[in-house]
């Protein structure tokens, strides 16, 4: 009996690591939201640590405004416009397991937060009275997942807004490329990509490159119904190769669709101690953006898109309760407002894709 419990505990540990990208919430300030001018200035300074030159528009300040003052930006016009579309929520690595566990626990306690994977996203959609489907693809190779997601898009009677997280973002990109190839890109009206490893994850590199971790992950994924090809497809080499191979198609998609990419990172304390954050935005000498996070922020930004580069937000706290509080409902609504604004701009210009 004890041995069986140990095995279950080990698999649960692997699930938590893979599902959240092995992120931790150590040494990060409380991110419930700033209110005073000094707090807002410190938050802006921390966000300003992202100075990499990427092909796209940095709209992090716009996100801060909508996150802090959502009521000023979430208008009735935006709510009404969003209701014209179906929402497809695309989970990340082993998200199907996290969703199943969340559903089981919710039946026991509707207010539980032990495992609430993507539950706040669903709550945000419900409060906005949006029609939502959760992608039911398994954790497998990107090609297989992308095919499944494309099929779900085509099954919808209305245009679809896609909200994806982590590996679900690279799966969604693959689906969009397939839809574009078949002349069906007009079935999608917009996309919010949250922390997608478009250019790979060093954690996946380390997993594939280590025999013990590779074997352990294979066993765990197999027991949980997933495929190790999902990990292999997240390596830096695999994703960079994919981006290069499909560059022309990706450029067509980013020109045609309103796309908003959310990237984030955590910084280590300047003094190296755990549990105490250093000055906002200050990195330790041996650190870089993403070093305490397994997906570097640059990897989460598709060239040519509008992007948010946010400090102090781990890979897990955007989609599941963690040790630090974070308002995921407001987070989701703020991104939806920003997408709705971009869709309205394209509609005014006459460039918003609509169904024939």
In a domain, 27, yes or no: no
Quick check: 307 and 59 in contact, CB under 8 A?
yes
Quick check: 86 and 190 in contact, CB under 8 A?
no
What pLDDT is attached to residue 249?
97
> Sign of torsion, CA 328 330 336 339?
negative
pLDDT, tens only, 169-196: 999 999 999 999 999 999 999 999 999 9
Comparing 169-173, 220-224, 235-239, 311-315, which segment has the lowest mean pLDDT?
220-224
In a domain, 28, yes or no: no
φ, ψ of residue 265 to 5 degrees: the values are -155, 165
Q: What is the mean pLDDT of the segment spanning 200-223?
A: 85
- pLDDT higher for 269 or 342? 342
Quick check: 277 and 39 in contact, CB under 8 A?
no
Q: What is the domain-level CATH number for residue 172?
A: 3.40.50.1820
In a domain, 292, yes or no: yes
For residue 282, pLDDT over 80 is answered with no
In a domain, 326, yes or no: yes
Q: How far is CA 53 from each of CA 45, 50, 56, 58, 255, rounded to the nearest angstrom? A: 17, 9, 9, 10, 19
**Residue 198's domain spans which residues?**
34-349
Q: How many domains does the chain have?
A: 1
For residue 281, pLDDT over 60 is answered with no
For residue 292, pLDDT over 60 is answered with no
Q: How far apart are CA 98 and CA 106, in angstroms?
A: 12
Kindly indicate the confidence band of residue 283, based on its pLDDT and cuts at 50, 70 and 90: very low
Angle, helix 167-181 to helix 247-256, in steps of 10 degrees: 90
- Residue 134, beta-bridge partner list: 89
SS3 assignment for the chain = CHHHHHHHHHHHHHHHHHHHCCCCCCCCCCCCCCCCHHHHHHHHHHHCCCCCCCCEEECHHHHHHHHHCHHHHCCHHHHHHHCCCEEEEECCCCHHHHHHHHHHHHHHCCCCCCCCCCHHHHHHHHHCCCEEEECCCCCCCHHHHHHHHHHHHHHCCCCEEEEEECHHHHHHHHHHHHHHHCCCHHHEEEEEEECCCCCCCHHHHHHHHCHHHHHHHHHHHHHCCCCCHHHHCCCHHHHHHHHHHCHHHHHHHHHHCCEEEEEEECCCCCCCCCCCCCCCCCCCCCCCCCCCCCCCHHHHCCCCEEEEEEECCCCCCCCCCCCCCCCHHHHHHHHHHHHHHHHHHHHHHCCCCCCC
- Sheet with 160-165, strands from edge to edge, namely 56-58, 305-311, 259-265, 188-194, 160-165, 86-90, 131-134
In a domain, 112, yes or no: yes
In a domain, 11, yes or no: no
pTM attached to this predicted model: 0.86
pLDDT, tens only, 107-158: 877 777 777 899 999 999 999 999 999 998 889 999 999 999 999 999 999 9
Q: In sequence order, which residues have a C-beta less than 8 Å from that of residue 75 and are 6 or more positions away?
A: none
pLDDT, tens only, 86-111: 999 999 988 888 888 878 887 877 77
Rounded percentage of the chain residues whose pLDDT exceeds 90? 56
Q: Of 191, 196, 195, give the one whose Cα is nearest residue 259.
A: 191
Q: How far apart are CA 340 and CA 338, in angstroms?
A: 5
In a domain, 192, yes or no: yes
Q: How far is CA 354 from each of CA 168, 222, 291, 335, 350, rounded to the nearest angstrom? A: 24, 41, 41, 21, 10
In a domain, 119, yes or no: yes
Q: What is the mean pLDDT of the segment spanning 58-81?
A: 96
């Amino acid at each position: 009996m004890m041995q069986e419990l140990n095995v279950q505990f080990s698999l649960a540990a692997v699930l938590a690591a893979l599902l959240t990208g092995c992120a931790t919430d150590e040494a990060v300030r409380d991110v419930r939201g700033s209110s005073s001018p000094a707090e807002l200035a410190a938050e802006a300074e921390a966000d300003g640590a992202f100075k990499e030159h990427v092909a796209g528009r940095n709209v992090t300040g716009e996100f801060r405004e909508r996150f802090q003052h959502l009521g000023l930006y979430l208008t009735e016009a935006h709510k009404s416009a969003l209701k014209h579309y179906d929402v497809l929520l695309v989970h990340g690595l082993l998200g199907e397991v996290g969703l199943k566990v969340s559903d089981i626990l919710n039946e026991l306690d509707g207010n539980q937060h032990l495992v609430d994977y993507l539950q706040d996203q669903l709550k945000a959609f419900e409060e906005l009275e949006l029609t939502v489907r959760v992608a039911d693809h398994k954790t497998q190779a990107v090609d297989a997942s992308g095919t499944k997601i494309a099929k779900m898009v085509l099954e919808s009677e209305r245009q679809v807004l896609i909200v994806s997280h982590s590996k679900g973002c690279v799966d969604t990109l693959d689906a969009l490329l397939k839809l574009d190839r078949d002349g069906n890109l007009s079935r999608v009206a917009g996309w919010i990509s949250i922390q997608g490893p478009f250019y790979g994850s060093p954690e996946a590199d380390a997993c594939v490159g280590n025999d013990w971790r590779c074997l352990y992950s294979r066993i765990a994924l197999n027991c949980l119904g997933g495929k190790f090809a999902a990990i292999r497809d997240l390596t830096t080499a695999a994703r960079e190769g994919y981006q290069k191979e499909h560059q022309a198609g990706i450029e067509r998609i980013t020109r045609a669709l309103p796309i908003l990419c959310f990237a984030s990172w955590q910084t280590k304390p300047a003094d190296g101690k755990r549990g105490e954050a250093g000055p906002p935005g200050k990195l330790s000498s041996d650190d870089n953006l993403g070093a305490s996070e397994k997906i570097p922020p640059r990897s989460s930004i598709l060239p040519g898109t509008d992007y948010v580069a946010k400090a102090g937000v781990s890979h897990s706290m955007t989609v599941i309760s963690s040790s630090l509080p974070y308002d995921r409902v407001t987070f989701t609504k703020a991104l939806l407002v920003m997408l709705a604004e971009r869709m309205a701009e394209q509609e005014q210009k006459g460039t918003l894709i609509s169904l024939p």
